[in-house]
Amino acid sequence: MEPTYDVLVVGAGCAGMRAAIEAHDRGASVGVISKLHPTRSHSGAAEGGINAALGNTAEDSPEMHAFDTVKGSDYLGDQDAIEILAAEAPGDIYQLEHWGAVFSRNGEGRLDQRPFGAAGSPRTVYAADITGHVLIQVLYEQLQRRMTQGMKVYEEFFAFRLLVEDGRCTGVISWDLMNGGVTLIRGKSVILATGGVGRLYRATTNAYACTGDGMSMALREGLPLKDIEFMQFHPTTMYPSGILITEGCRGEGGYLINKDGERFMQRYAPNALELASRDVVSRSETTEIEAGRGVNGSVYLDLRHLGPEKILTKLPGSRELAMTYAGVDPIYAPIPVRPGAHYHMGGVETDNQGLTGIEGLYAAGEVACVSVHGANRLGGNSLMETITFGRRSGHAAAEYALGAPAVGNGGEAARADAETWIKSLLGNTQGERPWSIRDELGQTMLDNFGVFRRPEKMEQQVEVIAGLRERYDRGVVIEDKGDVFNTDLTQVIELGYLLDIASCMLQAGIARKESRGAHSRPYDFPERDDANFLRHSISHWKGDGPELTYGEVRMTKWEPMERTY
C-alpha cells in the first residue's frame, strides 16, 4: 500500500522545509517530496538578506515595513497579508537565530541590518552575502533532527500530478528519479512549495529546477493563478552567465555606472539612486543599454570605492562569483551586470494560511500568491515570505489534517493513468528534442515579454507560444529510454509546465493596459491606471488554454499614491 502521511510537503527549499518543521511540531506525521536534495534547492542561491523590522541599525517598526512593502508593490499587494508578514517577521528571525543561523552582527553584538531598495529603514538581516545558503543549511539541520522522530524525506522524487478525489487533494503522483517508476504518496493535506518559474527566460538567476511545477499542476486541477504577468527582473545579474550579484552590493554603497563612467541612477531616481525599487533600477539600466550607453548589453556595478576590507568582509561571495564567472576582481574593476528574470510575484492563489481553492491543498513560497509582493517585490521580502508563510501553511495544514477523515484507498486508477502517459512519452520515436523548444521559448520570452513590454511584441509572443505548444503536442523525442536518473523525461514534463505558465502570463500581460511595478508598457500605456487595473488578474485553465478574470485587492489602511524617488 502506498505511504500515507497527515501532511505531505512538495518541495524542500526554505518554504517547504519550514512548513514541514511546523507541521511536525504540531503533532502531524510528515512526508517531504523533493526533486533535488534539499540543500540544492534554489533558496540557497539567495544572497543579500531577509527583512524584519528589528530596529537594530535605525528606527523601524512593523508598520513601516508594511507600508514600504505596500508602496513597493505599486499598491497591488494585499495589505492584510503584508501586515501579517511585517508583524511576524521579527519573531521568525529570532527563531532562526536560536536554531543556529549565523547572521552578521554589528559592533554592539546585535544582528546587523543593511539598507535595501525602497526600504525606509535598514531592515535587511544578513549573513555576509550568503544568507540563503545559511538559512537552507539551518533548516535542513532541523529537518534531519525531525527525521529521527519519524519525518520521511523522499529526495529525488519528481512530483508531476496532484491526486484530487471528490474535491479534496489527497496525494501526489511522482517519478522516482533514482530507481525509476511512477509512485503515489498520500497525504491528508498537501503543501505545494515548489518555487518559481524563472527558467521561462534565457537570462535568469534561477536554477534549472525552477520550472513552475506546482503552479502548472494546480492550474491543471482547476485552481487559479493570481497576478501571473508580473515577473521581476533583478537589476544586477552578471554578464554573460546571468548569475545573481546581490542587492547587498548596492546596500553597502555600490554604484551603477554606464560605459562613460556616469552614475546614471542620478537621472532616474535622484533621491533613492541605486536603492530605488528593483523595477525602477531594471528599467533604468535597460534604458541606458538601449540608448547605447552600455557595454555588450550591460552596465557596470562599481564597488571599488568600498575598499578591500569591506568587500572581503561583507561581500566575499559576490567577489568570488565575479572572479570565477566574469574574470573580474571587484576590488580593482567594476562588474558587468544587466537585468535578468529573477522572481515571480504571481502564483497559486491562497489565503493568509496558504489554503488554496481545493480542500486540503496549501501553497507557500514563490509558487504561491498570498499576495505580499503585488506588482513588485522588495529585496529581502521573499526569504521572509518563505519562512513566515511556510510556517503558517505548515500550521494550518497540520491542524486540518489532524481533524480530517482518513484518505481512502483510491488513487490507483490515477497512478496507472500517469504510468501509461509516461510510457507514451518514453515510447515516442518521432519529433524533435525538447531542448530546442525550451531554448526558443526562453529566448523569445526575453525578447518579447521582458523589462519593457511592447504591444506588437506581446502579440507576436502569443503566436510563438502557440507554435511551440503545437510542436510539443505533436511529440518530442526522449533519447534516454532508461529508468534511472532520466533527466530527458523530466525535462519534457517541465517543458509542458513552462508552456502553460507562459500562455497565462501573455494573456494577463496583454489585458493589463497600464504600467505597474514589473509590468511596464511605456510605449502605449505608460501610466498606472488605478481606476481600471487596481485589481488582481486571475487566470484559470479552460479546455486548451487560459481564461482571465479579475479579483479585488484587499486594502486595510493605505490608499494608492504616486511613487517618488
Is residue 437 within 8 A of residue 472, CB to CB? The reply is yes
**Measured distance between the N- and C-terminal CA atoms of the chain, rounded to whole angstroms:** 60
Q: What is the pLDDT of residue 318?
A: 95
Apex CA 42: angle with CA 540 and CA 48, to 5°? 110
pLDDT reported for residue 564: 65
The CATH number of the domain covering residues in 412-552 = 1.20.58.100
Q: What pLDDT is attached to residue 1?
A: 65
Sheet architecture: strand order including 347-349 = 368-369, 347-349, 225-226, 535-542, 545-552
Angle between helices 487-511 and 434-448 (to 10 degrees): 20
Whole-angstrom distance, CA of residue 346 vs CA of residue 93: 25
Contact partners, residue 122, CB within 8 Å, separation at least 6: 57, 58, 60, 113, 114, 115, 116, 251
Distance from C-alpha of 276 to C-alpha of 72, rounded to nearest angstrom: 9
Give all strands of the β-sheet with 299-302 in edge-to-edge order: 231-238, 335-344, 299-302, 255-257
Residue-level pLDDT at 409: 81
Burial class for 295, CB neighbours closer than 10 Å (0-12, 13-18, 19+): middle
Task: Give the separation between CA 169 and CA 102, rounded to whole angstroms.
Answer: 38
Residues marked active site are found at 278
3-state secondary structure of 231: strand
As a whole number of angstroms, the distance between CA 342 and CA 348 comes to 18
- Among positive and negative, which fits the CA dihedral 542, 546, 551, 557? positive
Helices 79-99 and 381-403: angle between axes, nearest 10 degrees: 90
Cell of 285: 539600466
Query: In this structure, what DSSP letter does residue 327 have?
Result: S
Cβ atoms of 216 and 300 within 8 Å: the answer is no
Phi, psi of 373 (to 5 degrees): -105, -20
Question: Dihedral angle at the C-alpha atoms of 222, 226, 228, 234, nearest 10 degrees?
Answer: -140
φ, ψ for residue 125, nearest 5 deg:
-70, 145
What is the reported pLDDT for 565?
Answer: 61
- According to the model, what pLDDT value does residue 563 have? 66
Q: How far apart are CA 502 and CA 170, in angstroms?
A: 28
Provide the residue-wise pLDDT of the chain in tens; the chain has 565 residues: 689 999 999 999 999 999 999 999 999 999 999 999 999 999 999 999 999 999 999 999 999 999 999 999 999 999 999 999 999 999 999 999 999 999 999 999 999 999 998 899 999 999 999 999 999 999 999 999 999 999 999 999 999 999 999 999 999 999 999 999 999 999 999 999 999 999 999 999 999 999 999 999 999 999 999 999 999 999 999 998 999 999 999 999 999 999 999 999 999 999 999 999 899 999 999 999 999 999 999 999 999 999 999 999 999 999 999 999 999 999 999 999 999 999 999 999 999 999 999 999 999 999 999 999 999 999 999 999 999 999 999 999 999 999 999 998 888 999 999 999 999 999 988 889 999 999 999 999 999 999 999 999 999 999 999 999 999 999 899 999 999 999 999 999 999 999 999 999 999 999 999 999 999 999 999 999 999 999 999 999 998 899 999 999 999 999 998 766 6
Cell of 525: 500605456
> What is the spatial distance between Cα 238 and Cα 23, in angstroms, rounded to a whole number?
38
Q: How far is CA 395 from CA 12, 15, 80, 286, 448, in A?
A: 16, 12, 19, 43, 41
What are the domain boundaries of the chain? 235-338, 412-552
* Owner of C-alpha cell 534511472: 484
Helix then strand then coil, in percent of the chain rounded to 5, is: 40, 20, 40
Say if CB 200 and CB 461 are below 8 A apart: no
Which DSSP letter does residue 262 get?
Answer: -
How many CB atoms within 10 Å of residue 102? 12
Q: Which of 191, 231, 229 is nearest to 546 (CA)?
A: 229
Cell of 90: 521579527
- Give me the count of residues in the chain: 565
User: How far is 382 from 400, CA to CA, in rounded Å?
Assistant: 26
Signed CA dihedral, 199, 326, 306, 314: sign only: positive
Query: What architecture does CATH give domain 235-338?
Result: Alpha-Beta Complex (3.90)
* 235-338 against 412-552: fold identical: no
Print the SS3 string covering 140-181: HHHHHHHHCCCCEEEECEEEEEEEEECCEEEEEEEEECCCCC
CA distance 22 to 397: 10
CA-based angle 133:335:382, to the nearest 5? 35
The CA distance from 355 to 13, in Å, is 19
Strand 30-34 versus strand 4-10 pairing type: parallel
CA distance 45 to 243: 9
pLDDT at 354: 98
Using a 10 angstrom Cβ sphere, with 0-12 exposed, 13-18 middle and 19 or more buried, the burial of residue 402 is middle
